[in-house]
Structure 1
Amino acid sequence: MAAPVTASGAPAREKRNRERIRPSWRGWLLRLLLTAASGYVFYLSFAPRPLWWLAPLAFAGFGLALRGRRLWGGLGYGFVFGLAMYLPLLIWLQDFLGADFGPWPWLALSATLAAYLGVGGALCTLVARLPGAPAWMALVIIATETPRTWWPLGGFPWGRVAFSQPEGAFLSLASIGGAPLVGFAVVLSGFGLAALLTRLNRQRHTLIAPAAATLVPVLAGLAAWPTIATAAEGGTLTVATVQGNAPNVGLALLNESATLRTNHLRQSEQLAAEIRAGAQPEPDLVIWPETATDSFGRADPVLNQAVADLGAPTLVGARFRPPGGQAQNVEIVWDPQTGPGARYAKQQLVPFAEFVPARAIAEWVTPFVDDTSDMLPGSAPSVLDVAGTRVATPICYEIAYDYVSRDAVDNGAQLIVLPTNNAWFGKSEMSYQQLAMARLRAVEHSRAVVVSATSGVSAMIAPDGTITASTSEFTAASLVGRVPLRDTTTLSDRLGAWTEYGLVSAALAGVLIGLGYGRRTRRASADDTRATGAE
């Protein structure tokens, strides 16, 4: 028979309960603050700050916060980590949309992307007790990057771990396994450091595995750097960019097509004058940025004359509107003698800017839906023959997607050109974030990259990711320089998407093993409890 609870015993029991609750509450709050701080530190690792080394430290903090958590706790902490990173990373959406939209698109996109890290945090709790836990946890986090390049609305790869690494120890790994391997190495190093910190008071032999997880990715990246070559293999090309500038008006740029065209014609005239005067070398190829003009599929005497004055084949970024056809975002090969020729049409269109998904629903929250017609996506690889060279021409947003540049290089591209129009996003970090992606692609494919932007930042990037020349934002300027043409096929190119598929498959295997391990652990615990009760 149970002993009765006396009045004098109740206060003592309540005191013990309060003592148990207080440290639990305090621990939860500290973990929450650590998670949020770690997410913000992760944001700080992205361009324009050259703080790539903060990324593994951010995941070390996140790993400490996840230690000992269960599924729902991991989900919550992962979401907070993602939200603390994405909210500041994507603030440029406010520059684009302006005050009329309010913060809701920015908040909704940030929360959607953070949810993927929430799922990653939850799944990390399933693999955290497996041998080699830091590796399994890193696989899980990187695996969540794959579905968010697909969904929702065609995906949004911004903020991938690898894009925080345009320089530093890990970047060289892009030539081996592309963005997925770079991201895995960063996260593994961070989770390894977290495991190492939790074992510092234990015996030395228990430190070997977490120390290896921390250091091996860094050492592997450093060891790979001597294999990163920059020398020309197929000659060199003198390339010029035309940055005509644009008004800093955000979404109102929709009504400034004539201004963009005038500005780029004016800057082309200035560049042609400098070439004639000998102040600039004669280019082999000139690049206009994305949507710098409208093209209607017919003769354009003014643009013909501008290209003829430059005296070199020109890649013209245009909004192509054929008579009776659907508009496309294209790069057109414009010859000084024969005019417009082959063109590449952007494949990966931007939702709510170049096409409107779920238009009937979008009308509730998007006031310009009626004025926005859907563009027609292209289907051919982003590669064009110009100036005697095979040139990859991913357009703007496409640089964030692995397949676009990879398919072009697989089709023989010796140089990557990135035409972009970032004037929409004001003087924000967006242009620098995109530039960091271009630097990663340079190493991934062992190709020079030339960025041509309407309002900056235009840049020339060596095959090792080094920026050799660049412009400022919201200025009219041109860059002229020689770039190497390369034919090397990196291991990353040869492996293609199989690196990503392999990492995702390993992550799924780890989660399944973790689920089985958890069931066995709970069953063994229940058996022990029953055995103790029987005694």
Structure 2
Amino acid sequence: MPGPPSLRTGLTAVGAGLLIAAAVPPWGWWPTAFVGIALLDQLLAGQPAIVRFRRTVPATAAWSLPATLWMLDLTPPGWVFAGLLHATFFGLAACVVPSERWRRLGLVGSFTVAEFARWSVPFGGVPLATIPMGQAAGPLAPVVRVAGSLLLVAVVVAVGMSLSALVDVWRGDRRSLRDAVAGGGVVLLAAVLAAVAPTGHVVDSLDLAAVQGGGPQRTRASPTGAAIVFANQMAASRLVEGPVDVVLWPENVVNPAPLPSSGNRRADRLYPDDADLALTAEAQRLGAVLVPGWFHRSPSDPRANVNYSTAIEPDGTVVDRYDKVRTVPFGEFVPLRWMLDPIAGDILPARDLLPGTGDAVLDTSAGRLGVTISWEVFFDHRTRDPVLDGAQVMLNPTNGASYWLTQVQTQQVASSRLRALETGRWMVQAAPTGFSAIIDADGSLVERTGVGEQAVLQGTVELREGLTWATRLGPVPMLILSVLLVAAAHCAALWQTPGVDRTHRNRTDATG
């Protein structure tokens, strides 16, 4: 039974994880992910399953924990739990492949499935600090047009496996040259497919402004703070230079207090009817479709909140509304509340968010505007669905004002770049304290604000139609392929059992 890994092995595992983390925004050193994966593969070579698990877990923890350090400010236990869960998924992925050279083929598939698993479970998934985010600014990003972000995971792992194989070739193992060439072939094939894949086509354009009210980071919501945030947004909105077709406000910057039963209003509070009047007047003043983000207690269920964006036409008429569907675990809803409330006290939100059920498209005079509110942009299907429903441009109102550091904000911009490439749609992101951004259909960052500043991003964005292969196919083909790669690795490992063993078995069969 193998003993625990040596200190040197443990440090190498941690180093591999840190290299993968270095590719993730805000650092964004995308080539380091390939080196980290190659180092991890070297640690797994020829090891039994339990050793592979023990070596992969610290490597993945060293990737996840630094890249999600912002969570430490909100919930230290949640930060540790999310990191260990991430590490466990990848530890198990390392266990389900052969131990020798065919492991590389299997790891391409099993690591792809592990990424998808943590994007999906538990509690709807936590797709943060992902492998694709680390490549959003790199040359491999366009492959997501072909089969989505899962293909990008597979290609990045394949590159890492090729580097590891080249190390083995340098050490004298000529058989590994085939692995290195195969990995290069995967990258070349994916690049060719990305080059010929459909990207949609332009049908029109509109002038759009994303309004950032400004203010300090690391703040928490309060009744008086809500009035200040709204006032900042109104002030920033006056910086919009007309004419403009659409003006996008961030998520939940319209956060009214309930109307007082006594009828006595406080001057430092924002109330629903005052907000309605102000927004109607602002849409009329701008002569544009105004898309503000609301957050308040649900009128139909006093135990729940609602988070939505409305579309207000230039005449002040509210013509459509989208309620956020994918909600944030422990931020907007509390799983296992019956068990956690007595322990956590006031740390957890008092009311869960009531998720929406409608299409994520606002039908307006300016066009069909797809909406992914904040957290939803990390999930590829929350952008894919509105595009399938006819969205011509994607809007991402968000709010990262409560977060420490800029990890969430930079990773969100990276996710928006991937979503733009996957769908062939422009993405426009608006945040009250940054980052707001405009991203074109090729995933290029056209413009971005800084953190804390009051600013307006204005530009002409394309309205586009047509579907990419990734939008048509979704994740299922890549999941099937990934499972087949793991199965093929096991079949190849069994088939290529050393010849002396096969001869021995044949002789046994012949003699009875």
Regarding TM over 0.5, the answer is yes
Paired with 2:172 and 2:425, the residues of 1 have a C-alpha distance of 47
Question: Per the alignment, in what secondary structure is the counterpart of residue 116 of structure 1?
Answer: helix
The alignment status of 1:288 with 2:249, answered yes or no, reads yes
Paired with 1:471 and 1:449, the residues of 2 have a C-alpha distance of 15
Contact 1:171 1:221 in 2 (8 A): no
Q: Which residue of 2 aligns with 1:488?
A: 466
Give per-residue Cα distances to partners, 1:229-271, cap 9 Å, x unaligned. 8896111111101101233234456873222212111211233
The alignment status of 1:307 with 2:277, answered yes or no, reads no
The alignment status of 1:129 with 2:100, answered yes or no, reads yes
Percent identity reads 26
- One of 135, 139, 156 as aligned partner of 2:109: 139
Contact 1:39 1:84 in 2 (8 A): yes
Contact 1:253 1:424 in 2 (8 A): no
Q: CA deviation at 1:192?
A: 2.1
Paired with 1:116 and 1:370, the residues of 2 have a C-alpha distance of 26
The alignment status of 1:462 with 2:436, answered yes or no, reads no
The alignment status of 1:269 with 2:238, answered yes or no, reads yes
Q: Which runs of 5+ in 1 are unaligned?
A: 1-20, 276-280
Contact 2:360 2:385 in 1 (8 A): yes
Paired with 2:389 and 2:482, the residues of 1 have a C-alpha distance of 26
Paired with 1:144 and 1:230, the residues of 2 have a C-alpha distance of 28
Paired with 1:25 and 1:357, the residues of 2 have a C-alpha distance of 38
Give the TM-score taking structure 1 as reference length: 0.84
Structure 1's 220 and 246: CA in aligned 2 closer, same or farther, altered over 3 A? farther
Contact 1:439 1:466 in 2 (8 A): yes
Q: CA deviation at 1:213?
A: 3.3
Structure 1's 441 and 170: CA in aligned 2 closer, same or farther, altered over 3 A? same
Q: How does 1:509-520 map to 2 (within 5 A)?
A: 509-510=487-488, 513=491
The alignment status of 1:234 with 2:234, answered yes or no, reads no
Q: Which has the larger radius of gyration?
A: 1
Structure 1's 322 and 105: CA in aligned 2 closer, same or farther, altered over 3 A? closer
Structure 1's 27 and 365: CA in aligned 2 closer, same or farther, altered over 3 A? closer
Structure 2 counterpart of 1:216, one-letter code: G
Contact 1:285 1:312 in 2 (8 A): yes
The alignment status of 1:67 with 2:36, answered yes or no, reads no
Structure 1's 80 and 322: CA in aligned 2 closer, same or farther, altered over 3 A? closer
Q: How does 1:8-19 map to 2 (within 5 A)?
A: none
- One of 334, 348, 358 as aligned partner of 1:380: 358
Structure 1's 306 and 427: CA in aligned 2 closer, same or farther, altered over 3 A? farther
Give per-residue Cα distances to partners, 1:3-55, cap 9 Å, x unaligned. xxxxxxxxxxxxxxxxxx9xx98973332221110100100001223421211
Q: CA deviation at 1:198?
A: 1.3
> RMSD of the TM alignment (CA)?
2.9
The structure with the largest helix share of the pair is 1
Paired with 2:381 and 2:200, the residues of 1 have a C-alpha distance of 25
The alignment status of 1:28 with 2:1, answered yes or no, reads no
Q: Which residue of 1 aligns with 2:266?
A: none
- One of 171, 179, 200 as aligned partner of 1:210: 179
Structure 1's 203 and 352: CA in aligned 2 closer, same or farther, altered over 3 A? closer
Q: Which runs of 5+ in 2 are unaligned?
A: 259-271
Q: CA deviation at 1:515?
A: 9.4
Question: Per the alignment, in what secondary structure is the counterpart of residue 438 of structure 1?
Answer: helix
Contact 1:169 1:221 in 2 (8 A): no
Q: CA deviation at 1:343?
A: 0.8
Contact 2:24 2:131 in 1 (8 A): no
Paired with 1:461 and 1:478, the residues of 2 have a C-alpha distance of 15
Paired with 2:3 and 2:181, the residues of 1 have a C-alpha distance of 34
The alignment status of 1:248 with 2:221, answered yes or no, reads no
Structure 1's 153 and 448: CA in aligned 2 closer, same or farther, altered over 3 A? same
The alignment status of 1:106 with 2:79, answered yes or no, reads yes
Contact 1:442 1:461 in 2 (8 A): yes
Contact 1:384 1:390 in 2 (8 A): yes
**Number of positions where the alignment pairs a residue of Structure 1 with one of Structure 2:** 487
Give the TM-score taking structure 2 as reference length: 0.87
Contact 1:396 1:418 in 2 (8 A): yes
Q: CA deviation at 1:69?
A: 1.1
Paired with 1:346 and 1:332, the residues of 2 have a C-alpha distance of 11
Contact 1:447 1:462 in 2 (8 A): yes
Give per-residue Cα distances to partners, 1:472-499, cap 9 Å, x unaligned. 0111110000011111311111212323
Paired with 1:171 and 1:106, the residues of 2 have a C-alpha distance of 28
Q: CA deviation at 1:360?
A: 2.6
| Greater mean deviation of Cα atoms: 33-42 or 351-360 | 351-360
Q: CA deviation at 1:369?
A: 5.5
Paired with 1:196 and 1:67, the residues of 2 have a C-alpha distance of 14
Contact 1:180 1:499 in 2 (8 A): no
Give per-residue Cα distances to partners, 1:264-309, cap 9 Å, x unaligned. 11211233xxx2xxxxx42110100111113688671112112222
- One of 4, 12, 19 as aligned partner of 1:41: 19
Question: Per the alignment, in what secondary structure is the counterpart of residue 146 of structure 1?
Answer: helix
Structure 1's 371 and 458: CA in aligned 2 closer, same or farther, altered over 3 A? closer
